[in-house]
């Protein structure tokens, strides 16, 4: 694994790579400590739009891992960045948690439920028929439909929950308009990560646990990929995809061995 450990930087997925729910995975502390001690540049990417970098930092701290907020980049931030680049000063009707709304405000995108430029969806537990009805009317009225990520389900301690892709589907069906998704596997997310750590694509490796979002995003961004088997993908499943990761390891700790 010398080729990987000699890289200048690392972009890592979180769930299934760093933790499961509220449990840090084996070898993660050693890997993060190794990155810090060797002055590696690194950023944790997450398709979830529910938490701010500060909240993600606190979550890891509760698990005994100290990582400052500037090492996190979320699909909420990528979505706000994308809208800002498309139409600076635009407005949006947002169905999502506080982290998504904060990311919008940070890019001077303000809330508008009358005639917004965009309707934006992220993970939320406050989904309602009223909000759905409003979103459909606004999209039919000309607002562009944006999803923070295309994930259809998320895994929680209580089992499976519908994620952004599932929540946005009724709006797509009712309006006949397809959403544009900003999160992985869209390479935009990974390119934002590269910009954040100031590395060239040849100088980093991307570590993820999903073939259909992480590894494909890495391939399409022309970076070397590491699939960890500590998440949702088994070694047998790799063969069912028409592309392969550069490396396959049991978990991030194995990269140091």
Catalytic positions, written as ranges: 13, 15
Largest CA distance in the chain: 57
Q: How far apart are CA 245 and CA 238, in angstroms?
A: 9
| Rg (the chain; Cα; Å) | 18
Q: How far apart are CA 78 and CA 194, in angstroms?
A: 12
Residues 117, 90 contacting (CB under 8 angstroms): yes
Classify 59 as helix, strand or coil. Answer: helix
DSSP per residue over 187-218, as a string? Answer: HHHHHHHHHHHT--GGGEEEEES-IIIIIHHH
28 Cβ contact list (under 8 Å, min separation 6): 18, 19, 65, 251, 252, 253
Angle between helices 129-140 and 164-175 (to 10 degrees): 50
Taking a C-beta distance cutoff of 8 angstroms, is the pair 140, 161 a contact?
Answer: no
CA 61 to chain centre: 20
Any bridge partners for residue 111, and if so which? 92
């Amino acid at each position: 694994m010398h080729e990987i450990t000699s890289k200048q930087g690392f972009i890592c997925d979180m769930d299934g790579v760093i933790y499961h729910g509220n449990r840090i995975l084996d070898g993660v502390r050693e890997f993060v400590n190794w990155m810090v001690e060797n002055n590696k540049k690194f950023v944790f990417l997450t398709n979830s739009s529910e938490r701010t970098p500060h909240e993600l930092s606190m979550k890891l701290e509760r698990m005994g891992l100290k990582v400052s907020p500037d090492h996190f980049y979320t699909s909420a931030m990528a979505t706000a960045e994308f809208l800002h680049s498309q139409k600076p000063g635009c407005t949006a009707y947002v169905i999502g948690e506080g982290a998504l709304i904060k990311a919008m405000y940070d890019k001077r995108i303000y809330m508008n439920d009358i005639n917004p430029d965009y309707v934006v969806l992220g993970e939320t537990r406050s989904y309602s028929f009223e909000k759905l009805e409003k979103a459909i009317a606004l999209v039919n009225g000309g607002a562009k439909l944006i999803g923070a990520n295309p994930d259809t389900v998320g895994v929680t301690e209580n089992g499976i929950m519908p994620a952004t892709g599932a929540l946005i589907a009724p709006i797509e069906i009712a309006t006949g308009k397809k959403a544009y998704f900003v999160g992985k596997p869209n390479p935009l997310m990974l390119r934002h990560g590269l910009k954040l750590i100031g590395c060239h694509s040849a100088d980093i490796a991307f570590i993820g646990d999903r073939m259909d979002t992480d590894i494909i995003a890495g391939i399409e961004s022309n970076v070397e990929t590491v699939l960890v088997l500590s998440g949702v993908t088994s070694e047998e499943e790799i063969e069912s995809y028409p592309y392969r990761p550069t490396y396959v390891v049991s978990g991030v700790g194995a990269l140091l061995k």
